[in-house]
Amino acid sequence: LKITTGDRIEAVTDASSHQMTVYKNGAVINEIPVTTGKPGFETRNGVKVVLEKQSFVRMRGTTVGIAEGSSDSYDLPVYYATRVTWSGEYVHAAPWSVGSQGSANVSHGCTGMSTENAGWLYNMSRRGDVVEYTGTDKQMTLTNGYGDWNESFTDYRQGSALS
């Protein structure tokens, strides 16, 4: 039996340096300036995977508990949205934050990049591809996507019927 899954694509984001490095089969193929979650809305550290992709999503702060009309409220058309957590973290086009990409974290937890870079990554990635984050104090949880990747094998196995 031979199974082919395609190239290994990994996007590694360092929230402290505001850079995403994209690898294909272990070789760097792109470096993208990004913005991630600002204080109070930090992006979670850890290994995530592409859960789904949508070419367009209307993102509203109310869906993640931000009160409408508050200073953090938003209602935005978003293109090239690649979901990486069930709680609402995406990698997506954020043309409104291009001036901060590569230098500051200004989002509500998503990873924003230029429309051109988001389109490139959207077309490059597939469900299950790895998207890893470093550089924040907030940690990925086991149930917020495919968080299993963040457990040690010993801890993971304790939840198994085989242990």
Which residues are CB-neighbours of 128 under 8 A, at least 6 positions away? 49, 50
Does 43 score more than 80 pLDDT?
yes
Per-residue model confidence (pLDDT) at position 163: 63
Proportion of the chain above pLDDT 70, given as a percent:
99
- Select which of 110, 113, 118, 130 is catalytic: 110
pTM beyond 0.85, yes or no? yes
**Cβ distance 79 to 163 under 8 Å?**
no
Per-residue model confidence (pLDDT) at position 161: 79
What is the 8-class DSSP label of residue 98?
A: T
Cα pseudo-dihedral 35, 39, 136, 96, rounded to 10: -10
89 in catalytic set:
no
Does 31 score more than 70 pLDDT?
yes
18 in catalytic set:
no
Mean pLDDT (the chain) is 93
- Select which of 92, 93, 101, 146 is catalytic: 92
- pLDDT (tens digit, 9 = 90+) per residue, 72-116? 999 999 999 999 999 999 999 999 999 999 999 999 999 999 999
